[in-house]
Amino acid sequence: MKTPSLDLLIIGAGPAGLSAADAAAREGLSYVVIEKGTIANTIRGYPVGRTLFSTTNELEMREGALKPVREKPTREELLSHYVHFVLDHGLLINAGEEVVDIERAEPDQFVVHTKSQDVIGRAASATYHARRLLFAIGAMDHPRRLNVPGEDLPKVHHRFVDPYPYVRKEALVVGGGNSAAEAALFLSEEGARTTMAIWRSDWENRDPKAGAMKHWVRSPLEREITEGRLRVVLYEQVDEITEREVALTTDAGEKLRIPNDVVFVLVGSDADLTLLRRLGVKTEAGRAAFTEVPVYKPETFETNVAGIYVAGHFTNARHIKPAIDVPRKVVPLIAQSLRAAGYFDKRRSEYRL
Ligand SMILES: Cc1cc2nc3c(=O)[nH]c(=O)nc-3n(C[C@H](O)[C@H](O)[C@H](O)COP(=O)(O)OP(=O)(O)OC[C@H]3O[C@@H](n4cnc5c(N)ncnc54)[C@H](O)[C@@H]3O)c2cc1C
């Protein structure tokens, strides 16, 4: 017997995928979200206790639903908000399941293959049929690397979540953006002997539009420097990471060897566009430096392959607000296209606001 076709299959349960699921439920579409990690996995990967830089109204799924203790929510408050949004609205999310392959069987028929593990670690696979696909896959799949000797040592991390294992350790943070600055600040404040290696252009950048570190990160960071707990090295390149040291060249050409127990390389990350490319979706250089984004129509977010839509961080919209806003506009257009093709009989779900 042929598996019934979903109207819409959504890949990824970050803010974009959750917003898409919400919109699909409102439209009465048959849909499912496949998420390889947990609900809001990227936000779960933020540093423990971190305060969001966005305001509540930019992050919440319903006006007034997110009620942080302080002015802006913490990682934990935001995560809880998204999880409860899923629970309260009965959104259909298959967490712990990864989309690994997709074929196009007919013009309006995609066959989606997934892999997961059961509770005792046995591998499982599943196949779904869907008329439309929405990729909401974020841009965290491939953390950028320095590509230097020693980068694969176990003490080198490409994500930072928690400063507490590193109290009184020699820590190096490499990177020039907000994530690197926050990690250096958290480590230094919580007793790691921290060095931040940053390019001069990033350190001197004060332009928020050019991705300068947020002033509420820079001010305490500068206090840590003044009070002698944090050292900033304006570097040209990291030369080598060894078990006990890091060798780097400063922007003045000086060679330094720094004692070291742990390294955080926080120089950004990229989306995995493999599935999209395999389906024939074209990509191009994105607006943010060093990024590659799928080509999509700005009004509909449909790619050059009919029936494949994109939303969220791996497009040119790199914050939570557009990740939530875009699916609210796009999913009703998908519903319209399904109705026009005669697939969808305006059935409304039991879903309530
Ligand atoms: C440390 C840090 C701090 C940030 N702070 C802020 C902030 O304060 N304010 C703000 O607006 N933005 C912030 N951002 C950016 C923000 O997190 C992203 O813009 C937002 O998460 C984008 O949502 P998304 O749904 O597009 O992608 P994501 O939240 O990344 O979700 C994508 C999901 O897709 C899943 N996925 C990917 N591939 C597959 C697959 N093949 N199969 C199944 N699932 C898949 C992933 O597991 C992931 O859960 C921050 C980012 C970082 C890293």
**Which of these, 37, 20, 30, lies nearest to 97 by C-alpha position?**
37
**In this predicted model, what pLDDT tens digit does every residue of 20-30 receive, in sequence order?**
999 999 999 99
d(CA 36, CA 141): 11
Q: Tens of pLDDT along 99-132?
A: 999 999 998 999 999 999 988 999 999 999 999 9
Q: Is the pTM of this model over 0.85?
A: yes
Confidence of residue 347 (pLDDT cuts 50, 70, 90): low
Band of the pLDDT at 350, cuts 50, 70, 90?
A: very low
**Helix axis angle, 178-189 to 215-226, nearest 10°:** 40
Residue 352 pLDDT: 39
Average pLDDT, the chain: 95
Q: 36 alpha carbon to ligand 1 midpoint, in Å? A: 12
Give the pLDDT mean for 159-185. 97
Of the candidates 5, 2, 3, the one whose C-alpha atom is nearest the C-alpha of residue 343 is 5
Which residues does a 6 A CB cutoff place in the pocket of ligand 1? 11-17, 34-37, 41-43, 46, 52-54, 98-99, 136-138, 140, 179, 312-313, 318-320, 323
Instruction: Express each pLDDT in 272-321 by its tens digit.
Output: 999 999 999 999 999 888 899 999 999 999 999 999 999 999 998 889 99
CA of 134 to the centre of ligand 1 (A): 15
Nearest CA to ligand 1 atom 26: 312
Residues 224-262 pLDDT 10s: 999 999 999 999 999 999 999 999 999 999 999 999 999
Tell me, in angstroms, the distance from the centre of ligand 1 to residue 343's CA. 32
